């Protein structure tokens, strides 16, 4: 039960990151590698603000910082015509130094002794079994999904979705595709940075290398969710990404619980989960084709 509750909490806290990757990877149809840097950026901003005694303000600072990182990637791609993958790598590399600067040149900061939103929640509302963190994480996740679902039903949201579906058509329709890309990248990285801020306050420390491999984790969450829910509307896609984040954490927790996997195999297990999730539709299609082929052969033999 403790393992499941811990996985549920982490899944909900990492859900905003999965939502951010869903925005760029699925809706905008653009690979964004800024995620690794913007996640650490959210942690760094949250750590400094929380230590200063502003745990709630830390979340908003992280959101603004993450949006700025996404905007930087968007401007490099749209204004300087740099490939989106390379633009993301450049911003991610630059953010390493920026994160160190925010943290005073230290590789990690401890929040022990500082009040966080989770400790404030537990002090205000007495919930048995330490469920206060779970309820707060669930509340934040629902709010973010609701906001994003509303945004993508507005004019700006439809422009972003159209840009991801057919950029050439959007440009012929006099819609500013470059602005749509910058807005989507800012939204996605704002969600990622928010997730980093939440994880920072949950784990009570910030590490400059904590963003390593976040793209893989986010992709795994998105793909696992799509495997269960399928690719439908944007709202269902947002919900599936959040659910996929929870399932990913549960799968990972049980995989590490098995003695045959050492603790340092986290990244390898994550990569294997992504490979299995990505290959799932292909394997399913091959099985379906083989089934149809056998039925046709049996029908011809019976004739």
Cβ atoms < 10 Å from Cβ of 261: 14
Question: In sequence order, which residues have a C-beta less than 8 Å from that of residue 134 and are 6 or more positions away?
Answer: 5, 8, 9, 12
Provide the 3-class DSSP secondary structure of residue 109.
strand
pLDDT at site 37: 93
How much is the average pLDDT of 231-252? 90
**pLDDT recorded at residue 300:** 73
Residue that has been written with the tokens 């690719």 in this structure: 231
Q: Is the pLDDT of residue 2 over 60?
A: yes
CA distances from residue 295 to 18, 132, 163, 288, 290 in whole angstroms, order as listed? 41, 55, 42, 11, 9
DSSP type of residue 263: G
Matching residue, tokens 């993958």: 85
- On the question of pLDDT at 129 being above 60, the answer is no
* CA distances, 181 to each of 107, 170, 178, 232, 280 (Å): 32, 12, 5, 22, 30
Which helix (DSSP H) or strand (DSSP E) does residue 278 occupy? Answer: helix 266-302
Confidence band of 52 (pLDDT split at 50, 70, 90): very high
Strands (E), the chain: 108-110, 205-207
Say how far apart CA 171 and CA 138 lie, in whole Å.
39
Per residue in 256-291, pLDDT (tens digit) is: 777 666 767 777 877 887 788 778 778 878 888 888
- Report the percentage of the chain scoring pLDDT > 90: 54
The yes-or-no verdict on residue 62 having pLDDT over 80 is yes
- What gap in Å lies between CA 284 and CA 241, rounded to an integer? 21
| pLDDT score of 35 | 93
pLDDT for the residue 303: 62
pTM over 0.75: yes
Specify the pLDDT at position 1.
64
Using pLDDT thresholds of 50, 70 and 90, give the confidence band for residue 134: confident
Using an 8 Å Cβ cutoff, are 36 and 214 in contact? yes
User: What are the helix (H) ranges across 23-153?
Assistant: 35-51, 55-78, 84-102, 117-124, 132-151
Round to whole Å and give the CA distance between 215 and 35: 6
| The pLDDT of residue 192 | 96
Question: What whole-number percentage of the chain has pLDDT above 70?
Answer: 96
Using CA atoms, how far apart are residues 193 and 104, in angstroms rounded to an integer? 19
* Choice between 264 and 237, residue whose per-residue pLDDT is larger: 237
* Mean pLDDT value across residues 181-196: 96
64-120 pLDDT tens trace: 999 999 999 999 999 999 999 999 999 999 999 999 999 989 989 999 888 999 888
CB 103 within 8 A of CB 206: yes
Level-2 CATH architecture, domain 2-302: Orthogonal Bundle (1.10)
Burial 227-242 (b: 16+ CB within 10 A, else e): beeeeeebeebbbbbb
């Amino acid at each position: 039960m403790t393992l499941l509750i811990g996985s549920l909490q982490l899944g909900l806290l990492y859900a905003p990151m999965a939502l951010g990757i869903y925005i760029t990877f699925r809706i905008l149809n653009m690979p964004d590698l800024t995620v690794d840097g913007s996640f650490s950026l959210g942690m760094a901003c949250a750590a400094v603000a929380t230590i200063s005694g502003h745990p709630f303000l830390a979340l908003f600072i992280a959101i603004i910082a993450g949006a700025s990182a996404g905007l930087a990637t968007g401007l490099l791609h749209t204004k300087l015509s740099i490939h989106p993958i390379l633009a993301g790598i450049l911003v991610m590399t630059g953010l390493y130094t920026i994160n160190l600067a925010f943290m005073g040149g230290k590789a990690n900061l401890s929040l022990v002794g500082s009040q966080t939103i989770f400790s404030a929640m537990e002090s205000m509302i007495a919930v048995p079994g330490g469920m206060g963190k779970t309820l707060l994480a669930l509340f934040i996740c629902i709010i973010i999904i609701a906001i994003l679902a509303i945004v993508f039903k507005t004019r700006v949201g439809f422009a972003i979705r159209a840009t991801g579906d057919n950029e050439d058509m959007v440009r012929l329709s006099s819609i500013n595709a470059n602005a749509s890309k910058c807005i989507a990248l800012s939204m996605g990285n704002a969600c990622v940075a928010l997730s980093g801020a939440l994880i920072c306050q949950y784990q009570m420390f910030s590490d400059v290398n904590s963003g390593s491999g976040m793209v893989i984790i986010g992709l795994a969450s998105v793909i696992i969710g799509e495997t269960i829910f399928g690719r439908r509307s944007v709202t269902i896609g947002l919900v599936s990404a959040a659910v996929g984040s929870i399932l990913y954490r549960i799968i990972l927790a049980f995989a590490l619980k098995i003695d045959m996997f050492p603790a340092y195999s986290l990244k390898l297990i994550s990569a294997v989960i992504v490979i299995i999730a990505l290959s799932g539709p292909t394997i399913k299609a091959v099985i379906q084709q083989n089934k149809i082929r056998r039925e046709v052969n049996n029908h011809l033999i019976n004739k």
